[in-house]
Structures are given as structure tokens and as C-alpha cells.
Structure 1
């Protein structure tokens, strides 16, 4: 494939290494806004930039009918708009809050546990995420995905909120520590005991590898997708 990397920070550089090692050609490495001129006619764009830049980056690429794989978090208020742009331009868009294989298995486990715990009101659920101090958004996109997975199967909760919550709000604790790639925990706690599931990333390489796999998968597709489609369809 010919891949354009939009956003060339730490993640972009790791994606570059992994994609190149698999024989793909990197035709653009952009820290600026993508255009028809600087993208250099790629087969797919992988977008890992900043929350404030993501929407216009994705929009520009989709309007050029280039499929986009996006891993930037913190901009999702405009995700529905992006999906409409993808459909209007008969191309493909894939958003992942986390591209790691292990995390996506963890998402599925989280939903399974939420279904099992649904009848047991004595257990209250909370989430915790720990990331490096350079991460700008809180909670993480993966923590939001976990919260949404729980809310889809547990009618007690209809919203998430940072820190301690009451009633129908699902609490997410966001912690920032030096050089932590990403840790996510889900707790079900009663007065008698606690059930915990967790995922800990050891490096960013798992995220980057999954993004390249998603880019390989999306070629020739039309519509809007997630990592569930890549891994489980």
C-alpha cells in the first residue's frame, strides 16, 4: 500500500517503522493539514494528530475519497459529521479509540462482564485509566469506549463522568503518570467483595501494529467501521 501519515509524533514514527517493515510505502509524513498536493496520492491515510486538528484532517482526506484510519481521541463530538462525509464521498472511515488487539479483546470481555453483572444491583461499577503526562484528553478514548460498552448492557447507567459520581452516572478516574503507555481497569464493588478486570500496555507498538492492520483491511471498503469489524467480522 501507499500510506500517508497525518500527524507525525511518537505514534506516527512507530507506525512508519512497522508499515515500512511490512513492505508498505510511506508517501507522506505530515505535521500540517493534509491537501491534495501534500498527500501524494496514497491508498489510505492513517491519522494520529491532535484533538483540535483531527476533524479538518479527516474531512480533507475523505473529500478526496481517500479512506482514513483515525486513532486521535478527544474530538468525537464531530464523529457523526465525519461519518456522513465518508458516506457522501463513497469512501471509508475507521475510528479506533485503541487499535491494540489486546485492548479490543478487553473491550469484548468488558461487555460480556457487564451482561453477567446486570442482575446484581449490589455491585457498583467504576473505571480507572492511567496514561503518560503528555496525553491531552481525559478520560482516554479507550475509557470512554469501556463506559459505552457497560452502558449498552446496564440500564442503571446513562452517562459517564470524571471522578466520583452518583446515581446514573458511571465514574471514570483519569490518572497521569510519567511514561505510562496505557492502563485501563474496570471494578465491580459491593460491600462484601470486588471484581476487577484490567489491561496494561507495555509500549505503543501494539497500538501502531493494529493501526497498520486496520489500514490493510480498509482498502476497497465503503462505509464507517471500527476495530470490531477488523478483528471479529
Structure 2
């Protein structure tokens, strides 16, 4: 495949390394301030840019027939707009807060556990996420996805950052050293605790998942998720 990288920071460089190792070619490296891009050379674009550029980057590719894989967070207030634009253009698009194959399995475990715990009334749920000190957003997009999975299966109505309320899933964010990403969901009760945890050892898992998604989306049309890529059931 001919891959365009939208955003050429640490993740972009890791995606480049994984792509080349899997036999693909990088035909564009679009970073802040980059204007020119040849859509005709692109089989797919992988977007790990910044929130301010994401919507324009994605729409530009979709309007020119280029499928997009996006892992940029912080722009999701425009997600429905972008999804509708993709459908209108008969394009192909995948967004995920985390492309790690292990994390997406973790998302499914989280939803299953939430459904099992929904009727007990004995436990209070919390999410702890820890990342490196350079990460600007809090909580992480992955933590928000976990919280939304819990909310969708239980009586919780919202999530809340670093503050414990009865009707909210509390999400605690920690920034330490160079930690790539650790997420733990805990149900705390009076007699025991139940926890599930995912620990990333490096960024390569995120990059691999994005490239796998880019391979999967070739020849397809529509708005998809990593559930589709991994055949984990309906969206």
C-alpha cells in the first residue's frame, strides 16, 4: 500500500517503521505547516495529527477518495459531521481512541464485565489511567472509551475526572515518566475488589493496530471501528 502519514510526531514515525516492515511505502509525511499533498499517490491515510488539523485532514482525504484511519483525539465534537461527510462522499473511515489490538480486546472485556456487574449494586467502579508526562489531554481517549462502555451497560449516567460522585464513573488521570499507557478498571466493594488491567510496553502496539486497520479498509466503503477490523461483533 501507499500510505500517507498525517502527523509525523512520535506515533507517525513509529507507524512509518511498522509500515515499512510490513512491505508498505510511505508516500507523504504531512506535518504542521505542510500544505501540498498528492492524493493520487495515496491508497490510505493514517492520521495522528493534532485536534486543530484533524477534521480538515480527514475531510480532504475523503473528498479525494482516500480512506482514512484516525487516532487523533480531542476533535470528537465533530465526529458525527465527519461520519456524515464520509457517507456523502462514499468514502471509508475508521476512528479509534486506541488502535492497539490488545486494548480493543480490553474494551470488549470491559463491556462484558460491566454487563455482569450492572445488577449487583454492591460495587463502585473507577478507572485509573497513567501516561507519560508529555501527554497533554486528560483523561485519555482510551479511558473515555472505557467509561462510555461502562455507562452503556449500567445505571451510571456520566463519567467525571478525579472526583467521586455516586452517579458518575470516576476517572483518575496520572502523568508519570515515560509510561506509554496503563488502564485499569476496578469495581470496589465492601468484601472484595474486581479489576481488569491493560499495560502497554511501548508505542509499537498502537502503530501496528493502525496499520492493520489500514490494510483491512482497502476496497471498503463506510464508517467502521476496530470492532469490525477484529471481527468482535456489531458496533
Q: Return the offset for 1:214.
A: 0.2
The equivalent of 1:201 in structure 2 is 200
The equivalent of 1:219 in structure 2 is 218
Provide the rounded CA distance (Å) in 1 between the counterparts of 2:58 and 2:136. Answer: 19
Maintained 8 Å contact 2:62/2:89: yes
Provide the rounded CA distance (Å) in 2 between the counterparts of 1:41 and 1:34. Answer: 16
Q: Return the offset for 1:151.
A: 1.0
Q: Let me know the Cα RMSD of the aligned residues.
A: 1.4
The equivalent of 1:10 in structure 2 is 10
The equivalent of 2:156 in structure 1 is 157
Give SS of 2:49's match.
coil
Give SS of 1:93's match.
strand
The equivalent of 1:114 in structure 2 is 114
Q: Return the offset for 1:32.
A: 3.3
Q: Which moved more, 1:178-187 or 1:190-199?
A: 190-199
Provide the rounded CA distance (Å) in 2 between the counterparts of 1:63 and 1:168. Answer: 42
Deviations 1:120-154 (Å, cap 9, x if unpaired)? 10101010100111111111111111011111110
Q: Return the offset for 1:217.
A: 0.3
Q: Does 2:139 correspond to 1:139? A: yes
Structure 2, gaps ≥5 residues long: none
Give SS of 1:15's match.
helix
Structure 1, gaps ≥5 residues long: none
Normalised by the size of structure 2, how large is the TM-score?
0.95
After TM superposition, which residue ranges in structure 1, 4 or more long, deviate above 2 angstroms?
A: 32-41
When the two structures are aligned, how many residues end up with a matched partner? Answer: 232
The equivalent of 1:67 in structure 2 is 67
Q: Return the offset for 1:37.
A: 3.5
Q: Does 2:209 correspond to 1:210? A: yes
Give SS of 2:230's match.
helix
Q: Return the offset for 1:218.
A: 0.6
Provide the rounded CA distance (Å) in 2 between the counterparts of 1:77 and 1:165. Answer: 25
